[in-house]
Chains A and B, each alone.
Chain A
Amino acid sequence: MSKSPKLLALTLGITLTLPFAAVAAGSADTAKTFGLGRPAEADEIAAWDIDVRPDGTGLPEGSGTVAEGEVLFTDNCATCHGDFGEGAGRWPVLAGGQDTLKEDRPEKTIGSYWPYLSTVYDYVRRAMPYGNARSLSDDEVYALTAYLLYLNDVVTDEEFKLSKENFTGIHLPNEANFIADDRMAEAHNANKGDPCMTNCMAEPARITMHARVLDVTPGAGDDETSGGSVD
């Protein structure tokens, strides 16, 4: 053996100490980077980055008219959403329902509920038609968005042309009615602390409603009566 024990120890010290030092720094210091991944190319970002914000950020070049949108809607959308956005069967209703939000059974549509037109463009382009997403051109999405504005009486002219240029000038009726999460101000949250443990009600509890009256649980009988929806 040509290496002395001292030299061997020194060699091991170098090879062992350096990686452990790097790992220790990485777990303690959030500014540490690992040199993993590779740069994203511009065309890769462009292929996936299709989101649109309310301020118009992300809108592509292009335009489309209400009349063009009506043809596209009939061909690509009406099977599920109905000729006028009224919804076929249980499929989502896209138009109508204005001024129903305080009612017992509100109808939440683009016109009655959605705050921003950007979401319409973004969602149609990213996820519709259902089962054939990303199949519409940017101009076609402009045309369909224009038609949805027409179905919701936000625009009334069939020759109206929606474009990147005039897009942010259009506002949906319900934009101002969204508020921040203020659940913490509700009485049961504001008054947090030890709850009542004994004799919490003056009278014995009485049953006010039975699930079996509705009888909509699978396997429990008739499934026709719908009392809610999760989609």
Chain B
Amino acid sequence: MTDTQAPAQPGTGDMAGLSRRSLLRAGLLTGGAAAGAGLVSRSALAGDPLITEVQDWNRYLGDSVQAAPYGKPSEFEAHVVRRDVEWLTASPESSVNFTPLHELDGIITPNGLCFERHHGGVAQINPADHRLMIHGLVDKPLVFTMEDLKRFPRENRVYFLECAANSGMEWRGAQLNGCQYTHGMIHCVVYTGVPLKYLLNEAGVKTSGKWLLAEGADASAMTRSIPMEKALDDCLVAFKMNGEALRPEQGYPVRLVVPGWEGNMWVKWLRRLEVGDQPWEQREETSKYTDLLANGKARRFTWVMDVKSVITSPSPQAPVAHGKGPLVISGVAWSGNGTVQRVDVSIDGGRNWKTARIDGPSLSKAMHRFYLDIDWDGSPLLLQSRAMDEQGFVQPTKNELRLARGDNSIYHNNGIQTWHVKADGTVENVEVA
């Protein structure tokens, strides 16, 4: 196996590794029909009909500008959709689906593909009917309309939102075959919203106010306790994502943004903020989102999402179809502690590592895109990625996590993922030792 970044030399006799363009070029250079025996059946004279014949889209008019007031992806991208795993939950209204990470690139998740996690279905709320209340240990309990919220100074920030249970089904070993399923409880968008501190300041938090309870307006009335330091630091009350209004499934008309912290705390359909002097110990911070350890104790208030990464292509849903030669290894990395400083990639199951290239913006508590361009010789690979964040935390192996926590933590699995790329280009989720 080689992993140089030099331009590839097409392997002789390996038709699958040659692009049509390089075939044609080879044919022209060697005199067309006089090309080598391996190329006779595809002589330059038998040109590609997609080029030599006029195509419909080249002859007839396409759709008008009135055809799609709100555009959709090409019909040829119909497979790029959120998917669920039915057996995971008892009810599809308190359930989760998964972002198709294996089909995406860059760092921004399209709104229609952002994974969903609801506990009482998607609330449908007319923004004119929505109210946000602040009360408790404040000088002035207040009620805001959406119009009020949009008069505060606002900010635009890119953040990842990762479900605490992302990769949770993999604690006991390789189970789901695809990064959409093993890592797809995450999305990353640019949020537009009001710093939470402006709203709290408007009500006047008393000095005894140390905790904030955030509550949603949906049928689960989702609640979480948030320490006041975080609430006053970088939390946003957001009403837009990627430039447009929040999608209903993401909390329309308004949600809480809690950068770097587990997705459960990003309360959707946000309607109430109560200031108190102690945490409330709600269902979602006692029964759920507490992390059982092997000794029977359970961690509570495990808020931060640790440094993590995954190779999105090749992956089980994105096999290598082009044969030997140049291969783009692409993936995402993120950390609740800040920016990702570096991502290393291994093609031999973690024995040797090469530092990948982070491309695009490196923003705090946001997704980062990394690439490693290799020349694949067709040998089986054991692909891994290992992220390091700006605080120096290094993504651990799954076995290191299990050694520290056991198999029953459910949440916060940031262990290194391994993909087995086979000689035929198919890819499988495996564990290695």
* B-binding residues in A (CB < 8 A): 23, 26-27, 30-34, 36-40, 44-45, 48-49, 51-55, 57, 80, 89-92, 101-102, 104, 106, 108, 110, 113-116, 118-119, 122-123, 126-127, 130-131, 133, 177-183, 186-189, 192-193, 195-201, 204-212, 214, 216-218, 220, 223-224, 226-231
Contact = CB atoms under 8 A, between A and B. Distances in A.
A200 B351 contact: yes
Contacts of B432: 205-208
A179 B431 contact: no
A119 B86 contact: no
A176 B300 CA distance: 12
* 8 shortest interchain CB distances as A-B pairs: A205-B349, A211-B429, A90-B90, A40-B141, A188-B396, A228-B169, A37-B142, A123-B283
Nearest to A197: B353
Interface stretch (B14-22, B31-39, B148-156, B325-333): B148-156
A40 B135 contact: yes
A47 B90 CA distance: 30
A45 B141 contact: yes
A216 to B, nearest CB: 6
Contact of B133 (A48, A186, A196, A220): A48
B299 interface: yes
A193 B351 contact: no
B209 interface: no
A33 B202 contact: yes
Interface in B49-77: none
A216 B202 contact: no
Given A180-B299, A188-B400, 9 more contacts: A40-B134, A102-B295, A122-B282, A186-B405, A205-B348, A223-B86, A228-B88, A228-B172, A230-B169
Contacts of A187: 400, 403-404
Contacts of A226: 87-88
B154 to A, nearest CB: 11
Interface string B135-149: 110001111100010
Contact of B351 (A90, A119, A204, A230): A204
Contact of A133 (B96, B219, B408): B219
A94 B292 CA distance: 18
B201 A200 contact: no
A229 B388 CA distance: 29
Given A130-B91, A197-B344, A26 B153 contact: yes
Interface residues of B, number: 111
B178 A217 contact: yes
B344 A195 contact: yes
Contacts of A34: 151-152, 198, 202
B286 interface: yes
A87 B204 CA distance: 45
A200 B133 contact: no
Given A187-B400, A211-B430, A54 B281 contact: yes
A53 B210 CA distance: 15
Contacts of B175: 211, 214, 216, 227-228
A135 to B, nearest CB: 11
B141 A230 contact: no
Contacts of A51: 213, 215, 223, 274, 280, 282
Contacts of A210: 174, 420, 428-430
B207 interface: no
B147 to A, nearest CB: 9
A36 B144 contact: yes
B91 A200 contact: no
* Most chain B beta-carbon contacts within 10 A, residue among A182, A218, A220: A218
A204 B348 CA distance: 7
B266 interface: no
Interface string B255-288: 0000000000000000110101010111100110
Nearest to A181: B302
B143 A39 contact: yes
B283 A119 contact: yes
B290 A44 contact: no
Nearest to A41: B143
Contact of B89 (A33, A101, A110, A229): A229
Interface in B292-329: 292, 294-304, 306, 316
B23 interface: no
